[in-house]
Chain A
Amino acid sequence: MTSSARDLALSVSLLAFAVIWTWLVIDTIRPGLGHGDIGPRAFPMVLGIILGGLSVLLFVRTLVLRRDETTAAGTGDVDAMDEDSTSRWGAMVLVAIEISAYGFLLQKIGFLIATPILILFVLVIHLRLRSWKTILGMTLGMTLGCWLFFEKLLGIYLANGSWFNIG
């Protein structure tokens, strides 16, 4: 994807978001009462409009820049980051899944069981690590280290499971 194509996609997405945001704000938040009462609606509404305006500005600027670049060089610049974009987007989706699953497991089975499961999953499935020494060291070290430091030393409450709890 060229940088201009990327900016066009960004500006259109942001414009759509701004329109939906502004519509929701107008629809769900009451306006001010006048005589100096600005009301809770004003700021989010104005911000939605500003975001929409900036998105349009980005769209127009990108179109103008693209025209200039095309005239100058014949093509748009291909993004260097694009070469390994599949692995980046893949990593993003996997990390999102891992964080969500970790949150769910923390609530259900508690920190002391959920954490080694997460670390094992990330090391073995995501990072494809095969050194069992590293895997075991990381899994047990991180879990016990965090539990001792946060829960026992600092007194910070770490999640206990609602299904079962081992401390």
Chain B
Amino acid sequence: MDIFLEALSTAMTPMAIASIGLGALIGLIFGSIPGLTFTVALALALPISFSMDAVPAIGLLLGTYIGGMTGGSVSAILLGIPGTPSAAATVLDGHPMTKQGNASIALGTAVITSVFGGIFSLVVMIVSVDLVSRVAISFGPAEIFALVLFGLSTICGLCGGSLIKGLISGALGLMIMTIGIDTIDGVQRMTFGSVNMLQGVNLLVAMIGLFAVPFIIEAFAVKSSTPEKSQRISRVKAELPSLRMLSKNLWLMIKCSVMGTGIGAIPGTGGAIASFLAYDHAKRFSKKPESFGKGNVEGVVAPETANNAVTGGTLIPLLSLGIPGDPATAIVLAGLMIHGITPGPALFMNHAGEVYSMYVSVVLAYLWVLGLQLMGIRLFVHVLKIPRELLAVGVLVLCAIGAYSIRNSVFDIYAMGAIGVMAYGLVSFRVPITPIILGMVLGPTLENEFRTAMMLSAGDPAIFYTSPTALIFFTLALLVIGLQALSELKARKPIKKEVEVSDA
């Protein structure tokens, strides 16, 4: 209890509250602008957090994450363009509501249900993280290696349409992280004699390059134009839904929260899957399924509750096992590690206070989101009117500031540019870039734990297959990869059939 009270006082300092609010504002703005996702916001917020203490810094990142997840609904409802993939399902009924003149109530409903989903998942997270950590505390190097390998297998869920390309992307991420001084033997690897390369490729520089630079290039290449839509939304505000409407949809909100939290806890899934499943569920069990897609408020309630419930769900494997489930939580993980907090089984033993502060920060972030959305919706509407290419100019300067401020080195700006251009090239070749981040985040642990395990067993690989826990994780990893390969083969079958028909 003492630790909790101390954490509460740390999280309630003016600096911490302001950082969470700043994060929520940045997240809401970035999340509400199509193409400028909250992952970019997180990558840019990370360098700002350097100069802060651990709790305000984490609060800033969590605020950005939560604000971004909620902000996606603004453009989805007003413009019919989801600000984030998680808000894609909200477009289906949210935008028709705008066309019917019910934009204000759609926005208000989205905010309230988002907060409900988020707080619900937080409660589940608080219970689960400690339980999972207690189980995981007995893990040795072999088990951790197997666990990280399982974490890497979630690349399959992030690989888009092609498993091979996803694996290639993951391998590239792992390769990038081997550059620099080897942490076990102190040997230089692929540094080519450059002093700048001794520390390897900085994770933050890579994240800014991978997520923000492709956005800048795309915004400069394809200029935006949405003036007629801006006219329609210029007088909008967020209006709170009635208690009657909320109580009518309470059971739906609870079901979607459970769904979102569960899906979020599975690494490699994310808000988009949760929101579409929740939308489908709401439509299937609705009394008026035919009204879905035509402005049914349940079509806003279900996806918005579910995608925000994902936030708590994704933090369960992140905090208890150190496995990020999506690119956004990978950046949160990097932020935690920068401030000396290493998520994983020993988190509660070493940093119980910071973990409790995180719980308080999540609640505060949702309160900020609620206040900002209800009071400041007109600001976001104005932001939506700014052409994307002008926003990209601002992002370009912020990226350079972010990369430079990490080590006060211009080399990092060049590295960011090079990685960003490489990422854009890969995207052009339809190679997903999220697995690169997963490889970069988990790569060093994977290598170190494998080498430590082999040292402990004097080179005997039996250490891996005699541990039941390790075997479970290896099996799960194989299962995930196998299922993805199977689904790709199934997806290819229609082409085969077509060929046979043609031949006949």
Contacts and interface: CB of A to CB of B under 8 A. Distances in A.
B271 interface: no
B496 A10 contact: no
Contacts of B430: 3, 6-7
Interface stretch (B65-73, B81-89, B227-235, B395-403): B395-403
B404 interface: yes
B404 A155 contact: no
Interface string A88-105: 101110111011101110
B451 interface: yes
A166 interface: no
Main secondary structure of the interface of B (DSSP, over half): helix
A118 B223 CA distance: 19
B168 A51 contact: yes
A58 interface: yes
Contact of B420 (A43, A99, A154): A99
Contact of A102 (B185, B413, B428, B457): B413
B337 interface: no
A163 interface: no
B417 A103 contact: yes
A136 interface: no
Interface in B386-442: 389-390, 393-394, 396-398, 400-401, 404-405, 408, 410, 413-414, 416-418, 420-421, 424-425, 428-431
B450 interface: yes
Interface in A18-70: 21, 24-25, 28-30, 34-40, 42-44, 47-48, 50-51, 54-55, 57-58, 61, 65, 68-69
A106 B393 contact: no
Contact of B393 (A21, A28, A111, A119): A119
B502 interface: yes
A87 B414 CA distance: 23
B158 to A, nearest CB: 16
Contact of B495 (A3, A42, A68, A154): A68
Contacts of A43: 174, 178, 447, 450
Interface stretch (B47-55, B314-322, B354-362): B47-55
Interface in B172-229: 172, 174-175, 178, 182, 184-185, 187, 189-190, 213, 216-218, 220-223
Interface residues of B, number: 70
Nearest to B49: A154
B95 interface: no
A44 B191 CA distance: 13
Interface string A5-16: 011011000100
Given A10-B431, A68-B499, A102 B400 contact: yes
B454 interface: yes
B397 A119 contact: yes
B483 interface: no
B51 A40 contact: no
Contacts of A158: 401, 404-405
B503 interface: yes
Contacts of A98: 396
A44 B454 contact: no
B48 to A, nearest CB: 6
B462 interface: no
A10 B147 CA distance: 31
A7 B401 contact: no
Nearest to A106: B410
Interface in B461-504: 492, 495-496, 498-499, 502-503
Given A102-B400, A106-B413, A156-B48, 10 more contacts: A6-B430, A58-B165, A65-B492, A71-B499, A84-B222, A91-B220, A92-B421, A123-B393, A154-B48, A159-B410
Closest CB pairs A-B (n = 10): A99-B417, A103-B413, A91-B221, A36-B459, A40-B182, A44-B178, A40-B187, A91-B220, A36-B458, A88-B221
21 contacts: A6-B429, A34-B459, A36-B454, A37-B455, A40-B182, A47-B178, A71-B502, A92-B217, A95-B216, A95-B421, A96-B417, A100-B414, A102-B400, A103-B400, A104-B410, A111-B401, A138-B390, A142-B393, A150-B405, A156-B47, A158-B405
